[in-house]
């Protein structure tokens, strides 16, 4: 039998496969879903009206349902008020979004175990939203979250209407513990009975005048905040199987947590360490803001300073990132290509869909024409097949950040440093073990 005859003989399995490939299969697809019900549950906050410095609190009662964090979000209305309590339409979220109002975010399990704590979460979201997504997203879903674009020198950002506006923020944007790495549904052992707290930021930090003039807002009001959870009820046999797993080995739930540190300096040479021990450090972000902007009236308090750095490098023990420091001889949009490229590589945005931050917005701070979103990022992941094989940080192997400021940089800087690390939750039937 020659090779041609052998290839012509079809077995049953091969014939079935060829029918599938040639789109000639006419059978009912198998039943793959194990859910018995799918719906959206609404969780109401403890109060219906909140003002700056208040804390929005949710006590989650999702029962035995599994929660899909990709389709879940928080809904609320924001209205800006002047000193007599009437609505005004002269303020916006500036370079940020409606996330500007959330200064501190904490999530606790039903037993009181802290699952997430992000300090100055509005600063983190202000720059990460535009790096994570492309410009088309900013114009569509981003606008639903309060993001806007410059419209000229007289319009810094889109105004919040006098009657207020409703915003919807995905849970995975605000809460690290609701953004699992493997895309898993959140089990009821973790979600049901959880306590979610959102501390509201002062109005002068969250809001900016639309025309960029030097006037700070009086206050704002947040009304009817609600958690909208996409939930699934599983068939009994599958729910029992997951409960058996949690009762024996426990459910492994992985997500990225953010540790925040602040460093202020007027020196040209900046050397600081991040005092956080973790087994898998993934990334470090340094977001520089001009100290003068933080106290001046009418300034966008969350926007970064212009690009500042002639040289930067970090190290953990004897490992340096990169091996030789990134050096910028010409701190302009035309000469700052390497720093921009290095940041995009470490953020995973150097291929595929581009970020919304352009090289000009990365380098230049000009409130009359564009936002500035200048950040320096290091990546410590050691794997080419996953993004959670980070470096170990301990008392003997601390994370050191070394930056050299440009001669034309701002006199005083506040550095917001965010260390992204891997957190593991071992979920038992009635308890949660948190490991960093």
Model confidence pLDDT, tens digit, residues 300-353: 888 888 888 889 999 998 889 999 988 888 887 788 888 889 999 888 887 778
Phi/psi for 298 (5° steps) reads 80, -5
Return the sign of the alpha-carbon dihedral for residues 182, 188, 192, 194.
Answer: negative
Is the separation of the CB atoms in 249 and 86 below 8 Å? no
C-alpha pair distances (Å), 218 with each of 98, 173, 207, 274, 391: 17, 27, 10, 36, 45
Question: 192 in helix, strand or coil?
Answer: coil
**pLDDT reported for residue 353:** 80
- The CA distance from 331 to 313, in Å, is 17
What domains are defined for the chain? 38-435 (2.70.9.10)
SS (H, E, C) 114-161: EEEEEECHHHHHHHHHHHHCCHHHHHCHHHHCCCCCCCECCECCCCCC
**pLDDT reported for residue 368:** 54
**pLDDT reported for residue 5:** 52
**pLDDT reported for residue 306:** 86
Residues 6+ apart with CB under 8 A from 11: none
C-alpha pair distances (Å), 159 with each of 203, 282, 391: 15, 37, 43
- Could you read off the pLDDT of 272-290 as tens digits, one per residue? 888 888 889 999 999 988 8
Q: Which of 387, 117, 423, 399 is nearest to 276 (CA)?
A: 399
Residues 6+ apart with CB under 8 A from 235: 34, 35, 36
**pLDDT reported for residue 84:** 66
**pLDDT reported for residue 118:** 92
**pLDDT reported for residue 407:** 81
Give the total residue count for the chain.
436
Q: Tokens 């440093």 map to which residue?
A: 417
- Could you read off the pLDDT of 389-406 as tens digits, one per residue? 888 888 888 889 999 988
What is 34-68 written as a DSSP string?
-EEEEEEEEEE-S-SEE-TT-EEEEE---TT-EEE
Kindly report whether the peptide bond that precedes residue 322 is cis, defined as omega within 30 degrees of 0: yes
Residues 6+ apart with CB under 8 A from 171: 69, 72, 73, 74, 178, 179, 227
Which parts of the chain have pLDDT scores under 50? Answer: 1
């Amino acid at each position: 039998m020659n090779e041609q005859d052998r290839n012509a003989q079809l077995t049953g399995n091969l014939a079935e496969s060829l029918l599938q490939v040639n789109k000639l299969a006419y059978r009912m697809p198998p039943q793959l879903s194990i859910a018995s019900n799918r719906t959206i549950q609404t969780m109401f906050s403890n109060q219906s009206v909140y003002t700056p410095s208040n804390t929005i609190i949710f006590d989650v009662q999702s029962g035995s349902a599994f929660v899909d964090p990709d389709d879940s979000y928080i809904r609320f209305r924001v209205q800006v008020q002047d000193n007599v309590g009437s609505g005004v339409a002269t303020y916006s979220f500036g370079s940020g979004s409606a996330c500007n109002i959330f200064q501190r975010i904490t999530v606790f399990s039903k037993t009181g175990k802290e699952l997430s704590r992000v300090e100055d979460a509005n600063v983190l979201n202000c720059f990460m939203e535009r790096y994570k997504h492309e410009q088309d997203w900013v114009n569509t879903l981003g606008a639903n979250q309060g993001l806007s674009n410059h419209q000229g020198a007289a319009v810094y950002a889109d105004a919040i209407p006098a009657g207020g506006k409703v915003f919807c923020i995905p849970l995975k944007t605000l809460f690290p513990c609701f953004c699992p790495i493997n895309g898993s549904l959140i089990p009821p052992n973790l979600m049901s009975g959880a306590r979610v707290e959102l501390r509201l930021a002062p109005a002068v930090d969250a809001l900016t005048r639309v025309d960029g003039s030097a006037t700070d807002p009086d206050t704002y009001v947040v009304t009817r905040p609600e958690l909208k959870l996409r939930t699934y009820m599983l068939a009994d046999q599958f729910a029992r199987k997951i409960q058996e797993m949690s009762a024996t080995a426990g459910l492994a739930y992985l997500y990225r947590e953010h540790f925040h540190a602040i460093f202020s300096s007027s020196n040209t040479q900046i050397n600081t360490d991040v005092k956080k021990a973790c087994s898998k450090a993934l990334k470090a972000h340094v977001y520089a803001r001009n100290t003068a902007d933080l106290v001046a009236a009418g300034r966008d308090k969350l926007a970064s300073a212009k690009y500042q750095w002639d040289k930067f490098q970090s190290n953990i023990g004897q490992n340096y990132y990169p091996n030789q420091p990134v050096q910028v001889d010409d701190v302009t949009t035309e000469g700052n290509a390497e720093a921009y490229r290095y940041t995009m590589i470490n953020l995973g945005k150097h291929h595929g869909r581009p970020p919304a931050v352009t090289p000009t917005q990365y380098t230049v701070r000009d409130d009359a024409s564009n936002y500035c979103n200048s950040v320096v990022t290091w990546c410590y992941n050691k794997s080419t097949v996953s993004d959670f094989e980070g470096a170990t940080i301990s008392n003997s192997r601390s994370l050191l950040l070394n930056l050299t400021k440009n001669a034309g940089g701002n006199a005083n800087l506040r550095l917001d440093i965010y260390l992204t690390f891997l957190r593991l939750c071992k979920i038992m039937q009635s308890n949660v073990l948190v490991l960093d």
